[in-house]
Every structure is written in C-alpha cells, then in structure tokens.
Chains A and B, each alone.
Chain A
Amino acid sequence: MAVQKQAPEENHRTTQLLHGPEEEAFTSVKSRREGLTADEAAARLAEFGPNSVTAPRPRPIIELLRKFKEPLVVQLIVICVLSFIFEDDETKRILSTSLVGGMVFFSVFLSYFQESRSAATIAKLQAMVKSTCDVIRGGVEITVPIDQIVPGDVVVLAAGSIIPADCRVIQAKDFFLSQSALTGESMPVERVVMATVAGDVSAQECPNGCLMGSNVQSGSAKALVLATGRETQFGAMSARLVERKDQTAFEKGTRSFVWMMIRMMLVMVTLTFGFNAWHTHSVQKAFLFALTVAVGLTPEMLPMILAACLSKGARSLARLKVVMKRLDAIQNLGAMDIFCTDKTGTLTQDHIVLQRHVDVIGRDSEDVLRYAWMNSYYQTGLRNLLDRAILNRTDLDVERSCRKVDEIPFDFQRRRMSVVVDHEGDHLLICKGAVEEILAVCDRYQIDDEIHTMIPLIKDEVMEEYRSLSAQGFRVIALAYREFDRSKEVFSTADEAGLVLLGYLAFFDPPKETAATALAGLKSRGVRAKILTGDNELVSRKVCADVGMPVGRVLTGAQLAAMDKATFDAAVLEADIMARLTPSQKEQVIRSLKAQGHTVGFMGDGINDVLALKAADVGISVDTAVDVAKESADVVLLEKSLLVLVDGIDEGRRIFCNIEKYIRMGASSNFGNMFSVLGAAILLPFEPLSPILILLNNFIYDFSQTAIPFDRVESDQILKPRQWDISGIRGFMVWLGPVSSLFDYLTFALMWFVVCPHVCGGTWSQLVAAGNSAGQAQFIVLFHTGWFIESNITQTLVVHVIRSAQMPFIQSRASWQLSLTTLSAVTFAGWLTFSPWTKGLGLAGASLGVTFWVALALMTVAYVTLAHLIARPRLRAA
C-alpha cells in the first residue's frame, strides 16, 4: 500500500478510511447506509463525547492565575515586592504591601468574577443559537444539533450546510465545498464518491473526503462520519489554528490608551524620583515614593471595568433577544456608522408568497405553476423560501406518474437549478432561477402550446414582463424546460442549454410595518443604511420606497465590476442600493467602506452573505439563518427585526460611554496628579503625601469606580456612533488635568500659608529656624491630611462632571450605584482622618479647623463648576 501524504495534524485513521474501500469504512465505524439507530447514536455519544473541538474551559484556578499575567497587574506586583524589600519601617512596609496587594486582589478578582459571568452569559446565549445537521438515524432523516453527531452517522448535506465532522462522501451530486477555514483556499473544491483513492493524497485533498471546518457551497451529498470532535483534522489543528481576527478598533483604542498611560507614568516616575532624590538626598526614599506614584498613575481597574461593562451589555442585549457571540463586538455595534443589509427579512416580512405565475407575456399560466412545483418538490438541495412558497401554493399528485431521474443543484455562479423528471417515456428537465441566467440558456420560448425561436430582440421583449413585475415590488424568477430522450439518465450543468422559456414566477414579500420606524431610528443615530442585495434594482427600489427609505444612487454588480478602485470606492460610499451583487462583490463593498474609515455592520442570513459577514466590523445574522452564516456572525438576532438592532446599537453606545467615563476620569486626574506631585517635589521641602496615603487614596478611588458599568447614560450621548478618540482623551487630559492641579496648588497654598502655620504656631521656616522638630512633624501631617482629603474628593467627584455634558447633580444624576460608591469613598476618606488609625496613617483631621473645611467646601464647588464648564464643550463635541 502506498504511503499516504499527511499533514502534521492529520488523523492517520481518517486518511486510511478515505483511501480504502467504502465498505471497509462502514465496517470500521460499525455503521451502514441506513445510518445508526437512536440507541447506537446515544451509546456512541457517551463513548466519544460531544462533537466539539472547543477545549474544555480551564479550571478556575488556572483562569485566575492567568489574570496575574496582565501587564498592569504585573506592574503592581513588582511595585508591591519592591516596597516590601526597600521599606525600612516595619509598620509602613506591612501597610503599603497590603494596600498594593489589596489593589491587585481587587483588580484580579473582580475582573475574573466579571469575566466568568460573561463567559457563563455567552455560553448560555450561544446555546440558544445551535447549529444543526440533518442525519439519518434508524433509516429516517432527522435534524440534530451538530454536537450530537457521532462516528458512524450518515449525514445529509446541502448548500449552506456546515460539514459537522470528518466524513467520507457516499453519495454526491455536483457537490462543492469551501475549505477556506481549513486550507485557506478560497476556490470551491468538488467532492465525489470514489471506491478507493490511490496514491499519495492527504485527507484534505482526498476527492471523497469532506472535513470539519468546511462548508457546502453547492450541490448535495450524503456522507459517513469517520471522526468527530477533537479527533477530527480540524480539532487537532484547532489548538494551533485559533483564528486570530484582525484587532478591532476597540482593542486598538484600548491598547493605545494603556500605552499612553504607561509612557506618561514612566516620565512622571523618573522626574519625581530625580527631584525627590535631589531634595531628600535619599535615593531609597525617593525610589519608594516614585514607585508609589507609579501605582497612583496606573489604570489598574481598566480590565475589570471593561469586563464588567461588556458583560453587563451582553446580558442587557440578551434580554432584547440579541445574542453576542463575541463580547467586544458590542462596542463595534455602537461604533457602527454604516449598516448594510440584504432587504429580505429586514425591510420585508420574509414571509414570501407566490403571487403570480405567468407565461412570457404576463398571462396567468397553470403550466408555469405545475412545472415550478415539480422543480421545488423534487429538489433535494437547500429549500429556500421561494421553494416553500411554491410548494405551499398547490399539491400535485406526482408520485403515481412521475419519477425523479436526476438533479442539477443550485450554485451562485449559475444562479439556477434543475430537476429531471421521467414522465410517460420522456425525460423532462425543468430549470428555474434568476431571470438573466435562465434567458441565457434559452433558445426558444413558449406561448400557449406553440414553441418559437428566441432571438435577442425577443429576449428584450420578454424581459419587459420581468421588469414590469419587478417594478411592482415582486421578486421574479424564470422557468424553462427541455425534453430529453429517455436513454439519457445522467445530467450535468452542460445540459442546461437550448431550453424553452415557459414563464415567470412572481413572489411578494410585504414590507415590514416596523421597517420605516427602524430606518428612521438608524438615521437619527447617525447610521446610514445601504442595501446590498443579489436581487434586482427595480424590486429593491420599490421596497425602499414602500418603507420610506430615500434612494439616491443605485448601482448594479455589473456596473461595480467595470469600475477602477478609486471610482468603486467613491461609488459604494455614495450608493444607497447595490443590486445584483455576487457574494464576493458584497464582501468587496464592505471592505471598501471599512478602508474608507467607516465602521461597517452587515446583516445577512444566507450562504451568499458569509463572506460579507466575515468582512464586516460587526457581522449580524439571525437565528433562522443557514448555519454557516450564524457561525460567521458576531451577533445573532433571535428576532429578525431592525428595531431590535436599533436597541442593540443604543446598548453598545451606552457601554462605550461608560468605558469612556473611566478612561477620561483616569486620564485627566492622573495627568493633573502628575503636575501636582511634580510641582510639590520641586516646591516643598517634604513629600506632599506619604506613600501609604497615596496608595490608600488610590485604593479608595478605585473602589468608587467599580459602579461605573452600572451608571446611566444620557440619551443625547447615544445619538452618534461612538468610536475611540484618543485625541479627544488627550484633550480631556490637557484641559482637565491642569484644572485639577490648580485646586491641588490652592490646597498646598491653603495648608502652607494658613492652616498649618495657624495650628502649628508658625510657618515652616519659623519652625525650622526654631529647631522645632515636633512642630515640623505636625506641619507635615496636617499638610498630608489636607491634600489627602482634597485630592480624594476632587478625584472621586470628577466622574460626575465628565459623565455627561449636562450640569452634574442638577440636570444629570448618576445611577444610584455610582452615587453610592462615590459618596461612600468620599465619606470613608473623610472618616479615616478622624478614625482610630489616624496616628498610624499619619493623618490629623481633627486638627484641621473650620477654616480648612469651609475652604475645602468652596474649592470643591468651584472645582466641579470649573471642570464642568471646561468639560461640557468637549463632551458635546464627542
């Protein structure tokens, strides 16, 4: 036996079973052509496990430990260890290590908890969107979830099916697969029945093999399942082939924000260390202080905030019957500014009714209905809505007088399909499909019972009937036939030639009542809708007119194909309807719009939509879509309604708004702190705040932010697509940071010139000149207490300012959760200065005096007012 070529991950047994005789494959998997019985399938499911390549979730402890690998957490741990090593004072060492450790714990456990909730939510939601497969069990064709497929099953495959496992084809008709997920090859490959496969051929190349990870482009087949789950080629590869999607705009934005903060922190830490070392002449002390400042500038809660926001969003969307398959797609949903869709089911009810069946000049024809019915009745491929509409129209007694001879399945290149029927000694090929494609293979036409020669002029004439029906909003397909001699038993696409055009079938799909409202909703939210359809431009225009969608430029696939790239880009941006598109043209349109800086959503449910779904920033499908479309989508709507999508967009924007609040708050307060600490390091003869207090302040501040994901978002904030805007964040930093610093410096002045000299009995210079070390120590403690309180209040309350362009507390109020955490944080910080631990912490709230508290109240009001005035125009512009 020849040595068979194998890919590194290839399952040797599968390869052998594809090469050897068919009966050997059946024997090996203990099966038969009629398939397994239900009991056998159940037993095998218990033996082999579910047909899934997904690795089981790691144990919670492993997942938790992985959290410690986050860069921001690693940074905190390093600081924690260094503080422990370099801090001389035992009490301070324990306190500072505990505080930094607490922050690590806070960040890691909260983010782990949120992500676990998200994972559970997604798993629960994904269970609602199960892919299924037709399988023969006990001789009967039934539909089961794909994860229930077992070795030995005989599966029934048609266009749009996902190949559920590694299989051997045992019956096929013009069966073409796309193996792009498996091999990267975009061209479809044909798979056929073969007694044996000779030579050095890998499983992926075996002409009788269809492997998990592929999907059916056209044709139909039955196949014997050889291996399932992780025993498949795809399963073996999946660990190495975890598909890395392009980084989304959201991921890129988050990453660039984190790096901006890290760079800022490095500059700040270096400068602080330099000035402090120069002032204090103690490298160790300066180093510890610089480390503490580094902690203060670290946005350590970012992972937790992201996880919480996205998880909460996924749960909210689930209530709206929107299933997020990838959590980060939520943000893209909110960022989407162009929404492309096929009109079927989104603008229309997707309840297609066969309205008319007419001859070539538009007269009602029972022959057309009868022939169309037989075509739909006998076809075994993917029965679409049109087939169902035809079959619902009548029910003919065909079994007694007709026999199916053969079938030429549908594909998107030919856009037609045929069945061949034996009737009273004749073999009759009945072909239905897209009008242009049917006319292309007709050389005759029929009127009444007369068959005449077709010439181009007549084609133009009979096309007029098609145009007229289309302009009335009907979806139109054509029907043709040809008789063959009975001796011909096997047919192929080459036989779809020299046909007689019999007539047309006109289907009506009424516009949805909610479509107009939903389109208006999209428009008011800054989302432009475009129709990308394989249907013709006349029907599309009519449907758009019916739902009140303004139609400017209309393009066809043929026109787009003739354009150079620059013209193409400009045209697809301008057009409202792009009709008669091939699947790859839909993808090209999406990619062009993305390349022009737009965030593009695409909603589709057919096999012809898969490429576009994958190309879009947000691929949206529906629960009733073909499996491969659902698998390719980021979002699955359990209700095929644009109104649900509008709600989803709002939710995506709300989530992004809340994430932005943390980012703005962190960026601006950290930038302000940088100025304050740097100035203090230069101006003051002592540290403006002890390391312990910086850490404590940070800890309290972190706690106050944990409720951000639960904050409410003003309605005006979701009117525009929300996208990452690093320059906008910089704007906040540059303007709000110095405002925060201004009030820090005012506090420094208040403490330095008024409060501390008043309480300590002299200015710092006087105390130093008098050699009053106790007075100096009290001066420093008071100074620290004053700034600790002011810094905490301003830093915590600023979230109320930057959360909305409206006046905080009066016009716009935060959610009760955020109000509670911020109020608690401020109260706790104030209470700490009076608590029994004031001595250990170096605080002295009781000694501050009325002057300080009055000044603090005034400064807080002034700060909030000034910050609001500065933030408002930026928030409105955002």
Chain B
Amino acid sequence: MRILLEALQAGRLFELTETSKRGAFEFLGRVLEAIPEIPDDSGVVEAMFAREGTGNTAIAPGVACPHARVEGINAEIFCALGWSSAGIDYEAEDGNRVNLVVAYWIPDCQRVGFLKEMSGLAKAITASGGIESLRKCETLGEVRHGLLDWVTVALSESSPDARARMLRLSAKPPAGEEPKA
C-alpha cells in the first residue's frame, strides 16, 4: 500500500467526470504521464487497454486497478486514483459499476512490488468492509480520508500473510561417500 499512500500524499486523487472506461483510462493515463519520472508518450493508455485484453482488472466490487507494464525502464512504480461517485461501467465480472480506479504504471523490474501492493490492497478492502465505506463519502476529501484508513488497516494487518518455511534438502553425496553426521 506504499505506492497508493505516496499517490495520495502527492495529490493524485481526482474526481472522474467521465463515466466510461475509456474516458477514465485516458484521464488517469494523462495524469500518470504528467509525472516527471514517467517518459512522455510512453503509451500508458494503450498499455492499460492491452492488459485489459487478458482479463478485467476489477479486483473487488467497485474497485479496479488498471495498469500499464513497461519494459526496459529502471524506475519506481507510480499510481493515480480516480473517484466516480456515480460509478463507471467497467465490464467487471461481478457486474458492479466501479467507483474507485487506481491506475498503475509499472516498470518491469517492479513486478514484485506491484503484486505485493495488490495483495495488500485486496486485504485492506476486505478488512475495511469494501467499497461501501467509501460510497458514503460526499466529497473527494472524505474519499481521501477513507483511503488513508484503508492504508492504515493494511499496514496494521500482517503482511505478508505468512513466512514460508521451506523444506531444505541437500543433494545426495556421490556413491561411496558417507554423509557427514
């Protein structure tokens, strides 16, 4: 949730006037491309649509995380948030309109960070009672506070879920050689 927190701190939460998916993508794409670390004309919108082609990026009722992956750039992940109180038609599998769109720009070297961010966000949404808590907000400022609450919840939850205790085995010693006690 570090990336989302940074975006909120940087003021990248906007009211979405568009209620179409394309409109939302284009708006948030422009916001991302305005970030100095992100190269101009990096095709963020096209990359987000290409990703949608492999599967819808709605991650919970009312919340979607479209993202553009880029190769060959060594940089941080950035995200921008869009809020639509009316909801946009996101063609989500659950049929719900999406109110919160969190668009990510992910250099390929940051895939691990993005996966962890997604797992954290999914946990925070579940723990905070889902999008319903945000839908009650009347202003963008209230939405921002609500999202900060999500971040707080996520940080208080244990992350990762668990630490793996992998089974360790060594290769067999060559024939005739006794293993050490």
Contacts and interface: CB of A to CB of B under 8 A. Distances in A.
A361 to B, nearest CB: 5
Given A450-B164, A452-B116, A397 B179 contact: yes
B160 A450 contact: yes
B156 interface: no
Interface in B96-145: 111-112, 114-116, 118-119, 122-123
Contacts of A446: 164
Which among B59, B160, B165, B168 has the greatest number of chain A C-beta atoms within 10 A? B160
B65 A451 contact: no
B57 interface: yes
Interface stretch (B15-23, B74-82, B83-91, B170-178): B170-178
B169 A455 contact: no
A361 B111 contact: yes
B63 to A, nearest CB: 10
A370 interface: yes
B166 interface: yes
B30 to A, nearest CB: 23
Contact of B163 (A421, A451, A458): A451
A402 B59 CA distance: 40
Contact of A455 (B59, B114, B168): B59
Given A371-B167, A395-B172, A500-B164, A458 B55 contact: no
A395 B57 contact: no
B119 to A, nearest CB: 4
Contacts of B93: 456
A144 to B, nearest CB: 29
Contact of B116 (A447, A464, A483, A500): A447
Contacts of B122: 453, 455
Contacts of B111: 361, 461
Contact of A450 (B55, B163, B171): B163
A452 B55 CA distance: 20
A450 B117 CA distance: 13
A835 to B, nearest CB: 85
A550 B60 CA distance: 42
Contact of A367 (B55, B166, B171): B166
B171 A452 contact: no
Interface string B36-59: 000000000000000000110101
B10 interface: no
Nearest to A457: B59
Nearest to A451: B162
Contacts of B163: 449-451
A460 B160 contact: no
A127 interface: no
Contacts of B164: 446, 449-451, 500
A426 to B, nearest CB: 8
Most chain B CB within 10 A, of A402, A424, A449, is at: A449
Contacts of A464: 54
A396 B118 contact: no
A664 interface: no
Contacts, number: 94
B173 to A, nearest CB: 7
B147 to A, nearest CB: 18
B118 A457 contact: yes
B51 to A, nearest CB: 8
A428 interface: yes
A451 B161 contact: yes
Interface in A430-488: 444-447, 449-458, 460-464, 483
B172 A458 contact: no
A452 B167 contact: no
Given A396-B171, A451-B161, A460 B112 contact: no
Nearest to B122: A455
Given A395-B172, A458-B119, A444 B161 contact: yes
A370 B169 contact: yes
B115 A461 contact: yes
Contact of A447 (B115, B162, B165, B166): B115
A454 B118 CA distance: 9
Contacts of A453: 119, 122-123, 161
A756 B89 CA distance: 103
Contacts of B114: 461
A617 B112 CA distance: 52
B171 A458 contact: no
A500 B160 CA distance: 13
B112 A447 contact: yes
A397 B169 contact: yes
Nearest to A365: B166
A460 B55 contact: yes
A555 B111 CA distance: 31
A361 B59 CA distance: 20
Interface in A339-380: 360-361, 367, 370-371, 374
A724 to B, nearest CB: 50
A282 interface: no
Nearest to A373: B169
B160 A452 contact: yes
A594 interface: no
Contacts of A370: 166-169
A447 B111 CA distance: 11
Contacts of B123: 453
B172 A396 contact: yes
B171 A428 contact: no
Contacts of A428: 167
Interface in A379-435: 394-398, 400-402, 421, 423-424, 426, 428
Contacts of A423: 167
Given A451-B163, A452-B161, A460-B54, A394 B118 contact: no
Contacts of A447: 112, 115-116
A361 B65 CA distance: 19
B167 A397 contact: no
A462 B159 CA distance: 19
Given A446-B164, A447-B112, A457-B65, A452 B119 contact: yes
A464 B168 CA distance: 29
Nearest to B93: A456
Given A423-B167, A460-B54, A451 B118 contact: no
Contacts of A401: 169
Contacts of A456: 55, 59, 93
A460 B114 CA distance: 13
Contacts of B112: 361, 447
Contacts of A400: 179
Contact of B115 (A367, A421, A452, A463): A452
A805 B57 CA distance: 66
B102 to A, nearest CB: 11
B171 A394 contact: yes
Instruction: Return the 10 tightest CB-CB contacts between A and B, nearest first.
Output: A450-B160, A452-B119, A460-B55, A451-B162, A396-B169, A455-B122, A397-B172, A449-B164, A453-B119, A395-B172
15 contacts: A361-B111, A370-B169, A374-B167, A395-B171, A397-B169, A397-B172, A397-B179, A398-B169, A400-B179, A447-B115, A452-B119, A453-B122, A453-B123, A455-B119, A456-B93
Interface of B: 54-55, 57, 59-60, 65, 93, 111-112, 114-116, 118-119, 122-123, 159-173, 179
Given A449-B163, A456-B55, 13 more contacts: A394-B171, A395-B171, A396-B169, A397-B169, A397-B171, A401-B169, A428-B167, A447-B112, A450-B116, A450-B163, A451-B164, A452-B159, A455-B122
